Amino acid sequence: MQFSFHRLLQDATRLTRSGRLQAATHAIHPALRAVPGGRAEAPSSPADIVIDVEAREPGTGSTTAPQAPPRGEGSVVTGRFGSGTQARDWRLYIPPQAGERPLPLVVMLHGCKQDPDDFAAGTRMDDAAREHGCFVLYPAQSKQANPQGCWNWFKHSHQQRGRGEPALLAGMTRDILQKHPVDPARVYVAGLSAGGAMAAILAGAYPELYAAAGVHSGLAAGSADDLSSALAAMRSGSAGAAEAPDRPIIVFHGDADRTVHPSNGGHVLEGSLPAGTAAETQQERPGRGRGYTRSVHRAPDGRVVAEHWVVHGSPHAWSGGSAAGSYTDPKGPDATREMLRFFLAVTPGGE
Q: Any idea where the domains of the chain sit in the sequence?
A: 1-33, 75-273+311-345
What is the predicted pLDDT for the residue at 243?
65
What is the predicted pLDDT for the residue at 42?
33
Q: Give CA separation, 139 vs 59, 175, 216, 343, in Å.
A: 22, 12, 17, 19
Q: What's the order of all strands across the beta sheet hosting 88-94?
A: 75-81, 88-94, 135-139, 103-109, 182-192, 212-216, 249-254, 304-311, 292-298, 278-284
Q: Residue 18 and residue 9: Cα distance in Å, rounded?
A: 14
What is the predicted pLDDT for the residue at 25?
43
What is the predicted pLDDT for the residue at 12?
53
How buried is 222 (Cβ within 10 angstroms: 0-12 exposed, 13-18 middle, 19+ buried)? Answer: buried
Alpha helix ranges (H) inside 180-285: 194-205, 227-236, 263-269
What is the predicted pLDDT for the residue at 22?
43
Q: Give CA separation, 273 vs 5, 239, 300, in Å.
A: 34, 14, 11
Using DSSP's 3-state secondary structure scheme, residue 303 falls into coil
What is the predicted pLDDT for the residue at 334?
97
At 116, the amino acid letter reads P
What is the predicted pLDDT for the residue at 330?
97
Q: Residue 168 and residue 97: Cα distance in Å, rounded?
A: 28
* Mean pLDDT in consecutive groups of 10 residues from the start of the chain, 351 residues: 44 48 45 38 37 38 40 87 92 94 97 98 98 97 96 94 96 97 97 98 96 97 93 90 80 97 93 83 88 95 94 98 97 97 85 47
What is the predicted pLDDT for the residue at 265?
95
Other C-beta atoms closer than 10 Å to the C-beta of 236 total 11
Q: Residue 246 and residue 230: Cα distance in Å, rounded?
A: 24
Using an 8 Å Cβ cutoff, are 335 and 309 in contact? yes
Top CATH class of 75-273+311-345 equals alpha beta
